[in-house]
Structure 1
Amino acid sequence: MNDKSKFPEVTIYTDGACTGNPGPGGYGAVLLFNGHRREISAAYRRTTNNRMELMAIISALKALKKKCRVNLFTDSQYIADSINKGWALRWKKNSWKRSRTEKAQNIDLWEKLLDLLEKHQVKVQWVRGHAGEAGNEKADALATAAIRTANFLVDETYEKNNSHSDRS
Protein backbone atom coordinates (compact mmCIF):
# COMPACT_ATOMS: atom_id res chain seq x y z
CA MET A 1 0.00 0.00 0.00
CA ASN A 2 1.50 3.35 -0.96
CA ASP A 3 1.41 6.33 1.38
CA LYS A 4 -1.34 8.07 -0.61
CA SER A 5 -3.85 5.25 -0.17
CA LYS A 6 -3.43 5.15 3.62
CA PHE A 7 -5.61 8.17 4.21
CA PRO A 8 -9.14 8.99 3.03
CA GLU A 9 -9.33 11.60 0.29
CA VAL A 10 -11.57 14.59 0.92
CA THR A 11 -12.37 17.52 -1.35
CA ILE A 12 -13.15 20.81 0.36
CA TYR A 13 -14.43 24.07 -1.11
CA THR A 14 -14.36 27.14 1.10
CA ASP A 15 -15.37 30.77 0.85
CA GLY A 16 -15.68 33.81 3.05
CA ALA A 17 -17.82 36.90 2.57
CA CYS A 18 -18.30 40.27 4.22
CA THR A 19 -20.85 43.03 3.82
CA GLY A 20 -18.39 45.81 4.29
CA ASN A 21 -14.78 45.00 5.03
CA PRO A 22 -14.82 45.09 8.01
CA GLY A 23 -18.44 44.36 8.71
CA PRO A 24 -20.78 41.45 9.21
CA GLY A 25 -19.22 38.36 7.65
CA GLY A 26 -19.82 34.71 7.02
CA TYR A 27 -18.07 31.63 5.77
CA GLY A 28 -19.10 28.46 4.04
CA ALA A 29 -17.42 25.14 3.43
CA VAL A 30 -18.44 22.10 1.42
CA LEU A 31 -16.74 18.79 2.28
CA LEU A 32 -17.03 15.89 -0.16
CA PHE A 33 -15.99 12.36 0.79
CA ASN A 34 -16.85 9.04 -0.78
CA GLY A 35 -20.24 10.17 -2.07
CA HIS A 36 -21.09 12.07 1.13
CA ARG A 37 -21.42 15.81 1.48
CA ARG A 38 -21.22 18.03 4.55
CA GLU A 39 -21.86 21.76 4.59
CA ILE A 40 -20.61 24.12 7.29
CA SER A 41 -21.31 27.81 7.74
CA ALA A 42 -21.34 30.54 10.36
CA ALA A 43 -21.62 34.32 10.58
CA TYR A 44 -19.83 36.95 12.66
CA ARG A 45 -21.08 40.42 13.51
CA ARG A 46 -17.81 42.27 12.81
CA THR A 47 -14.90 40.76 10.93
CA THR A 48 -13.05 40.87 7.61
CA ASN A 49 -13.22 38.92 4.40
CA ASN A 50 -9.76 37.42 4.95
CA ARG A 51 -10.70 36.25 8.45
CA MET A 52 -13.82 34.58 7.06
CA GLU A 53 -11.75 32.84 4.37
CA LEU A 54 -9.39 31.53 7.06
CA MET A 55 -12.23 30.48 9.38
CA ALA A 56 -13.88 28.54 6.57
CA ILE A 57 -10.76 26.45 6.07
CA ILE A 58 -10.14 26.02 9.80
CA SER A 59 -13.73 24.86 10.38
CA ALA A 60 -13.58 22.42 7.48
CA LEU A 61 -10.28 20.88 8.59
CA LYS A 62 -11.50 20.66 12.21
CA ALA A 63 -14.50 18.67 10.97
CA LEU A 64 -12.25 15.86 9.73
CA LYS A 65 -12.22 13.03 12.25
CA LYS A 66 -8.90 11.50 11.18
CA LYS A 67 -5.89 12.28 9.03
CA CYS A 68 -6.94 12.84 5.43
CA ARG A 69 -5.56 13.74 2.03
CA VAL A 70 -7.32 17.01 1.34
CA ASN A 71 -7.85 18.77 -1.97
CA LEU A 72 -8.74 22.25 -0.77
CA PHE A 73 -10.19 24.79 -3.19
CA THR A 74 -10.32 28.47 -2.27
CA ASP A 75 -10.96 31.61 -4.28
CA SER A 76 -8.72 33.57 -1.91
CA GLN A 77 -5.40 34.35 -3.54
CA TYR A 78 -4.27 35.59 -0.10
CA ILE A 79 -4.80 32.14 1.42
CA ALA A 80 -3.49 30.13 -1.54
CA ASP A 81 -0.30 32.19 -1.86
CA SER A 82 0.30 32.39 1.88
CA ILE A 83 0.28 28.60 2.07
CA ASN A 84 1.68 27.54 -1.31
CA LYS A 85 4.46 30.13 -1.43
CA GLY A 86 5.41 29.53 2.20
CA TRP A 87 4.60 33.06 3.35
CA ALA A 88 2.64 32.00 6.44
CA LEU A 89 5.38 29.65 7.61
CA ARG A 90 7.93 32.42 7.08
CA TRP A 91 5.80 34.87 9.10
CA LYS A 92 5.63 32.35 11.93
CA LYS A 93 9.39 31.71 11.80
CA ASN A 94 9.98 35.49 11.90
CA SER A 95 7.84 36.02 15.02
CA TRP A 96 4.81 36.85 12.88
CA LYS A 97 6.49 39.70 11.00
CA ARG A 98 5.93 40.21 7.28
CA SER A 99 8.88 42.56 7.20
CA ARG A 100 11.10 44.24 9.77
CA THR A 101 8.40 46.78 10.53
CA GLU A 102 5.15 45.13 9.44
CA LYS A 103 3.33 42.59 11.60
CA ALA A 104 1.39 39.79 9.91
CA GLN A 105 -2.40 40.02 10.05
CA ASN A 106 -4.78 37.41 11.48
CA ILE A 107 -2.05 35.71 13.51
CA ASP A 108 -4.56 33.91 15.76
CA LEU A 109 -6.14 32.21 12.76
CA TRP A 110 -2.88 31.48 10.94
CA GLU A 111 -1.59 29.71 14.06
CA LYS A 112 -4.68 27.48 14.11
CA LEU A 113 -4.53 26.82 10.38
CA LEU A 114 -0.83 25.96 10.33
CA ASP A 115 -1.41 23.47 13.16
CA LEU A 116 -4.26 21.85 11.22
CA LEU A 117 -2.21 21.71 8.01
CA GLU A 118 0.35 19.59 9.87
CA LYS A 119 -2.33 17.02 10.75
CA HIS A 120 -3.42 16.39 7.16
CA GLN A 121 -1.93 16.14 3.69
CA VAL A 122 -3.39 19.29 2.18
CA LYS A 123 -3.10 20.48 -1.41
CA VAL A 124 -4.38 24.06 -1.68
CA GLN A 125 -5.66 25.14 -5.07
CA TRP A 126 -6.84 28.58 -6.07
CA VAL A 127 -10.04 28.81 -8.13
CA ARG A 128 -11.49 31.93 -9.66
CA GLY A 129 -14.48 33.09 -7.64
CA HIS A 130 -17.89 33.46 -9.29
CA ALA A 131 -16.70 31.54 -12.35
CA GLY A 132 -19.20 28.69 -12.24
CA GLU A 133 -17.15 26.16 -10.21
CA ALA A 134 -20.02 24.33 -8.46
CA GLY A 135 -18.25 23.68 -5.16
CA ASN A 136 -17.00 27.25 -4.89
CA GLU A 137 -20.41 28.66 -5.79
CA LYS A 138 -22.03 26.53 -3.06
CA ALA A 139 -19.46 27.64 -0.47
CA ASP A 140 -20.13 31.26 -1.47
CA ALA A 141 -23.89 30.72 -1.18
CA LEU A 142 -23.43 29.23 2.31
CA ALA A 143 -21.29 32.20 3.38
CA THR A 144 -23.73 34.83 2.14
CA ALA A 145 -26.75 32.93 3.51
CA ALA A 146 -25.08 32.80 6.93
CA ILE A 147 -24.78 36.59 6.93
CA ARG A 148 -28.46 36.97 6.00
CA THR A 149 -29.57 34.85 8.97
CA ALA A 150 -28.15 37.56 11.26
CA ASN A 151 -27.39 34.85 13.81
CA PHE A 152 -24.00 36.39 14.51
CA LEU A 153 -21.15 35.03 16.56
CA VAL A 154 -18.50 37.37 17.95
CA ASP A 155 -15.01 37.33 16.42
CA GLU A 156 -13.55 38.22 19.81
CA THR A 157 -9.92 38.47 18.72
CA TYR A 158 -10.75 40.75 15.82
CA GLU A 159 -13.04 42.99 17.84
CA LYS A 160 -10.57 43.26 20.74
CA ASN A 161 -7.64 44.10 18.45
CA ASN A 162 -9.54 46.44 16.14
CA SER A 163 -11.76 48.51 18.37
CA HIS A 164 -10.28 51.73 16.96
CA SER A 165 -8.79 50.78 13.60
CA ASP A 166 -9.91 48.37 10.92
CA ARG A 167 -7.11 46.83 8.95
CA SER A 168 -6.78 43.19 7.90
Structure 2
Amino acid sequence: MSEQQLQGHQLLIYTDGAARGNPGPGGYGVVLLWGQQRKELSAGYRLTTNNRMELLAVIVALESLTKKNIPLTIYTDSQYIVNAVEKKWLDNWIRTDFKGGKKNKDLWTRYYQLTRHYKPRFVWVKGHADNALNNRCDELATAAADGKHLLIDEGYERSLNV
Protein backbone atom coordinates (compact mmCIF):
# COMPACT_ATOMS: atom_id res chain seq x y z
CA MET A 1 0.00 0.00 0.00
CA SER A 2 1.17 3.50 -0.74
CA GLU A 3 1.44 6.12 2.00
CA GLN A 4 -1.69 7.77 0.63
CA GLN A 5 -3.59 4.48 0.83
CA LEU A 6 -2.37 4.02 4.42
CA GLN A 7 -4.00 7.26 5.51
CA GLY A 8 -7.47 6.67 6.83
CA HIS A 9 -6.81 3.00 7.53
CA GLN A 10 -6.35 1.54 10.94
CA LEU A 11 -5.05 -1.89 11.74
CA LEU A 12 -7.32 -3.83 14.07
CA ILE A 13 -5.78 -6.66 16.04
CA TYR A 14 -7.69 -9.21 18.11
CA THR A 15 -5.72 -11.42 20.48
CA ASP A 16 -6.29 -14.19 22.99
CA GLY A 17 -4.24 -16.64 24.99
CA ALA A 18 -5.09 -19.93 26.65
CA ALA A 19 -3.47 -22.40 29.00
CA ARG A 20 -4.70 -25.83 29.98
CA GLY A 21 -4.08 -26.05 33.71
CA ASN A 22 -2.35 -22.66 34.09
CA PRO A 23 0.45 -23.59 34.07
CA GLY A 24 0.09 -26.21 31.42
CA PRO A 25 0.04 -26.51 27.66
CA GLY A 26 -0.92 -23.17 26.16
CA GLY A 27 -1.39 -21.24 22.98
CA TYR A 28 -2.19 -17.89 21.48
CA GLY A 29 -4.46 -16.75 18.68
CA VAL A 30 -4.39 -13.53 16.67
CA VAL A 31 -6.61 -12.02 14.00
CA LEU A 32 -5.27 -8.98 12.13
CA LEU A 33 -7.62 -6.86 10.02
CA TRP A 34 -6.54 -4.18 7.55
CA GLY A 35 -9.42 -3.07 5.36
CA GLN A 36 -10.55 -6.22 3.57
CA GLN A 37 -7.36 -8.12 4.40
CA ARG A 38 -7.35 -10.66 7.21
CA LYS A 39 -4.52 -12.73 8.67
CA GLU A 40 -4.62 -15.30 11.47
CA LEU A 41 -1.68 -16.40 13.62
CA SER A 42 -1.37 -19.05 16.33
CA ALA A 43 1.12 -21.32 18.06
CA GLY A 44 1.12 -23.73 20.99
CA TYR A 45 3.57 -24.25 23.85
CA ARG A 46 4.14 -27.31 26.02
CA LEU A 47 4.26 -25.47 29.38
CA THR A 48 3.22 -21.88 30.00
CA THR A 49 0.60 -19.67 31.64
CA ASN A 50 -2.51 -17.93 30.40
CA ASN A 51 -1.07 -14.43 31.02
CA ARG A 52 2.08 -15.29 29.07
CA MET A 53 0.02 -16.46 26.11
CA GLU A 54 -2.20 -13.36 26.27
CA LEU A 55 0.91 -11.17 26.15
CA LEU A 56 2.71 -13.28 23.55
CA ALA A 57 -0.30 -12.91 21.24
CA VAL A 58 0.11 -9.13 21.33
CA ILE A 59 3.88 -9.37 20.79
CA VAL A 60 3.61 -11.78 17.86
CA ALA A 61 0.95 -9.61 16.24
CA LEU A 62 3.18 -6.53 16.45
CA GLU A 63 6.28 -8.43 15.33
CA SER A 64 4.40 -9.68 12.26
CA LEU A 65 3.83 -6.15 10.97
CA THR A 66 5.89 -4.84 8.08
CA LYS A 67 4.94 -1.16 8.40
CA LYS A 68 5.92 0.85 11.46
CA ASN A 69 4.14 3.74 13.18
CA ILE A 70 0.71 2.93 11.80
CA PRO A 71 -2.45 3.53 13.80
CA LEU A 72 -3.62 0.34 15.46
CA THR A 73 -6.04 -0.87 18.07
CA ILE A 74 -5.63 -4.13 19.93
CA TYR A 75 -8.71 -5.86 21.31
CA THR A 76 -8.07 -8.31 24.13
CA ASP A 77 -10.03 -9.98 26.91
CA SER A 78 -6.98 -9.69 29.18
CA GLN A 79 -7.41 -7.01 31.83
CA TYR A 80 -3.82 -7.83 32.85
CA ILE A 81 -2.57 -6.43 29.54
CA VAL A 82 -5.03 -3.55 29.21
CA ASN A 83 -4.33 -2.32 32.74
CA ALA A 84 -0.56 -2.79 32.51
CA VAL A 85 -0.41 -0.60 29.41
CA GLU A 86 -3.29 1.84 29.72
CA LYS A 87 -2.78 2.51 33.46
CA LYS A 88 0.99 2.80 32.93
CA TRP A 89 1.86 -0.06 35.29
CA LEU A 90 4.38 -1.28 32.73
CA ASP A 91 6.23 2.05 32.76
CA ASN A 92 6.75 1.64 36.51
CA TRP A 93 7.78 -2.03 36.15
CA ILE A 94 10.39 -1.03 33.58
CA ARG A 95 11.63 1.87 35.72
CA THR A 96 12.04 -0.40 38.78
CA ASP A 97 13.37 -3.40 36.81
CA PHE A 98 10.33 -5.46 37.79
CA LYS A 99 11.08 -5.26 41.53
CA GLY A 100 8.71 -7.06 43.84
CA GLY A 101 8.57 -10.21 41.78
CA LYS A 102 6.56 -8.89 38.85
CA LYS A 103 6.18 -11.75 36.40
CA ASN A 104 6.85 -12.10 32.70
CA LYS A 105 9.74 -9.64 32.58
CA ASP A 106 11.07 -11.27 29.40
CA LEU A 107 7.82 -10.76 27.50
CA TRP A 108 7.05 -7.32 28.90
CA THR A 109 10.54 -6.16 27.95
CA ARG A 110 10.03 -7.55 24.46
CA TYR A 111 6.69 -5.73 24.20
CA TYR A 112 8.19 -2.51 25.55
CA GLN A 113 10.84 -2.53 22.80
CA LEU A 114 8.07 -2.76 20.21
CA THR A 115 6.46 0.42 21.56
CA ARG A 116 9.30 2.37 19.93
CA HIS A 117 7.59 1.65 16.61
CA TYR A 118 3.98 1.17 17.63
CA LYS A 119 1.70 3.00 20.03
CA PRO A 120 -1.26 0.65 20.21
CA ARG A 121 -4.50 1.59 21.84
CA PHE A 122 -5.88 -1.29 23.89
CA VAL A 123 -9.56 -2.07 24.20
CA TRP A 124 -10.86 -4.68 26.62
CA VAL A 125 -13.57 -7.01 25.33
CA LYS A 126 -15.46 -9.55 27.37
CA GLY A 127 -14.09 -13.02 26.73
CA HIS A 128 -16.27 -15.94 25.67
CA ALA A 129 -19.11 -13.57 24.87
CA ASP A 130 -20.58 -12.16 21.67
CA ASN A 131 -17.45 -10.81 19.99
CA ALA A 132 -16.93 -13.11 17.01
CA LEU A 133 -13.30 -12.12 16.45
CA ASN A 134 -12.35 -12.59 20.10
CA ASN A 135 -14.07 -15.97 19.96
CA ARG A 136 -12.08 -16.85 16.84
CA CYS A 137 -8.84 -15.96 18.66
CA ASP A 138 -9.93 -18.22 21.52
CA GLU A 139 -10.52 -21.06 19.05
CA LEU A 140 -7.06 -20.53 17.55
CA ALA A 141 -5.42 -20.36 21.00
CA THR A 142 -7.09 -23.46 22.40
CA ALA A 143 -6.52 -25.48 19.22
CA ALA A 144 -2.85 -24.49 19.36
CA ALA A 145 -2.63 -25.49 23.04
CA ASP A 146 -4.18 -28.86 22.22
CA GLY A 147 -1.97 -29.42 19.18
CA LYS A 148 1.03 -31.62 18.59
CA HIS A 149 4.62 -30.39 18.22
CA LEU A 150 4.27 -27.78 20.95
CA LEU A 151 7.01 -25.17 21.24
CA ILE A 152 9.03 -24.44 24.38
CA ASP A 153 8.25 -21.24 26.28
CA GLU A 154 11.89 -20.78 27.20
CA GLY A 155 11.27 -17.72 29.37
CA TYR A 156 8.72 -19.55 31.48
CA GLU A 157 10.63 -22.81 31.78
CA ARG A 158 13.84 -20.93 32.64
CA SER A 159 11.96 -19.14 35.45
CA LEU A 160 11.08 -22.51 36.98
CA ASN A 161 14.76 -23.33 37.50
CA VAL A 162 15.44 -20.25 39.63
* TM-score using structure 2 length: 0.91
How far apart are the structure 2 equivalents of 1:118 and 1:127? Answer: 25
How far apart are the structure 1 equivalents of 2:94 and 2:119? Answer: 20
How far apart are the structure 1 equivalents of 2:128 and 2:55? Answer: 19
- Give matches, 1:60-75, under 5 Å: 60-67=61-68, 68-75=70-77
How far apart are the structure 2 equivalents of 1:7 and 1:42? Answer: 31
Judge conservation of contact 2:28–2:144 (CA < 8 Å) in 1. Answer: yes
Q: Give the structure 2 partner of residue 129 of structure 1.
A: 127
How far apart are the structure 2 equivalents of 1:44 and 1:94? Answer: 29
**Consecutive unaligned residues in structure 2, runs of 5 or more:** 1-5
How far apart are the structure 2 equivalents of 1:92 and 1:131? Answer: 33
Q: Give the structure 1 partner of residue 157 of structure 2.
A: 159
Q: Give the structure 1 partner of residue 42 of structure 2.
A: 41
Judge conservation of contact 1:7–1:69 (CA < 8 Å) in 2. Answer: no
Structure 1 stretch displaced more, 146-155 or 72-81: 146-155
RMSD between aligned residues: 1.4
- Give matches, 1:24-103, under 5 Å: 24-67=25-68, 68-97=70-99, 102-103=100-101
- Counterpart residue type for residue 75 of structure 1: D
How far apart are the structure 2 equivalents of 1:141 and 1:59? Answer: 17
- Counterpart residue type for residue 60 of structure 2: S
- CA deviations 1:38-75 (Å, max 9, x no partner) are 00000000000000001100000011101221110000
Q: Name segments (4+ residues, structure 1) moved above 2 Å.
A: 5-8
How far apart are the structure 2 equivalents of 1:29 and 1:75? Answer: 12
CA displacement at 1:9 relative to structure 2:
1.5
Structure 1 stretch displaced more, 148-157 or 135-144: 148-157
Judge conservation of contact 2:25–2:146 (CA < 8 Å) in 1. Answer: no
CA displacement at 1:117 relative to structure 2:
2.2
Decide which of 81, 103, 106 is 1:105's aligned counterpart: 103
Identity of aligned residues (%): 46
**Consecutive unaligned residues in structure 1, runs of 5 or more:** none
CA displacement at 1:140 relative to structure 2:
0.4
